Structure 1
Amino acid sequence: MPDPRWLNRDEQAAWRAFIESTKLVFDALDRQLQRDADMPHAYFEVLVRLSEAPSRSMRMSDLAEVTLSSRSRLSHAVARLEERGWIERSICETDRRGQNATLTDEGFAVLAAAAPGHVETVRRVMIDGLDVEQLAQLTEIGRRIVAQLQHAESA
């Protein structure tokens, strides 16, 4: 087994800052959404993605992909959201083996009510603490990380 390429001091500082900041941001988002909308951030993300889809509906496999969830984790989340009446599942017309998840009117209303508090929290914990240049850098850094991971997965 080859020796690992250890992180130098600057790399270690960047890595730890990234880990700590992302954990704290997602913890703050989860707390706010649990308090104000009685849902975790993962459920909010599912509702958002469905709200942006044509007819507020997506194949479950596509929804898992865009929410970066495993199919089993997404299935569990959708079952909970279905129990609340926020999502309905149906058989996919083009592939009878697949299922679609559709955001209900009630789910859309819940999302619309939760969104302002969520956006305010995103602003408070991240956006407003960065200047225009830092925000552009963060966007570029995030895109590079995503592209690197997507390239590695396709190779």
Structure 2
Amino acid sequence: MKEPRWLDELEMAAWQGFLEAGNRVTRRLEQQLKDEAGLSHPQYEILVHLAEAPGGEIRMTELAERLITSKSGLTYQVGQLERRGLVRRRACPTDVRGVFAVLTEEGRELLRTAAPGHVATVRETLIDVLDREELAVLARALGEVGRRLRD
């Protein structure tokens, strides 16, 4: 078995900083969305993707891919949104197994009211903490990580 390449001090600091920052930002966003809109962060992201889609609808399989989540996890979250009248499901007319998630007017309205507080929290916890150069480095670095993991 090949000997592992242990992390040096800088690599460990980067890894631990990534973990802590990611967890703390996620926790803060979850709390803000729960307090102000009664949504989880995944539910908010579902509404965002649906609002950006033509006709406010996306096939569930495509939505799961965009959100980088399992189909069962997405089904659960969409079910929660559906119970609140924020999303509905409809069958795909060309594929009996296909299902679309569709944003309702109530979902669109909740997203309109939730977005300003969400963006303010994103700014407070991440964006405004960094200067433009740091943001550029972060965007390039995390973009590269995402691209490599997609491929």
Shared fold per TM-score greater than 0.5? yes
Question: Which residue of the partner structure matches residue 63 of structure 1?
Answer: 63
Match for 1:131: what amino acid?
A: D
**SS at 1:102 equivalent:** strand
Q: 1:92-125 CA distances to partner (integer Å, 9 max, x unpaired)? A: 1221211000000000000100000000000101
Q: How far did 1:147 drift?
A: 0.9
Which residue is equivalent to 2:52?
Answer: 52
Equivalent-residue separation in structure 1 for 2:137 and 2:11 (angstroms): 17
Q: 1:6 aligns to what?
A: 6
1:127 matched to which residue of 2? Answer: 127
Instruction: Report deviation, 1:4.
Output: 1.5
What CA distance in whole angstroms lies between the structure 2 residues aligned with 1:94 and 1:5?
Answer: 51
SS of aligned partner of 1:149: helix
Farther off after superposition, 2-11 or 54-63: 2-11
Structure 2 gaps of 5+ residues are none
Task: Give the AA of the match of 1:51.
Answer: A
- Is residue 38 of structure 1 aligned with residue 38 of structure 2? yes
TM-score for the superposition, normalised by structure 2: 0.98
Paired-residue identity, %: 44
Which of structure 1's runs of 4+ aligned residues deviate more than 3 A? none
Give, as a single letter, the amino acid of the residue that structure 1 aligns with 2:56: R
The aligned residue for residue 148 of structure 1 is: 148
User: Which letter does structure 2 place at the counterpart of 1:87?
Assistant: V
CA RMSD of aligned residues (A): 0.7
SS in 2 for 1:80: helix
* Counterpart position of 2:108: 108
CA distance in 2, matches of 1:114, 1:147: 30
SS at 1:123 equivalent: helix
TM value normalised by structure 1 = 0.95
Deviation at 1:126, TM superposition (A): 0.6
2: CA distance, partners of 1:113 / 1:94: 35
Flag structure 1 segments of 5+ consecutive residues without an equivalent: none
CA distance in 2, matches of 1:93, 1:2: 53
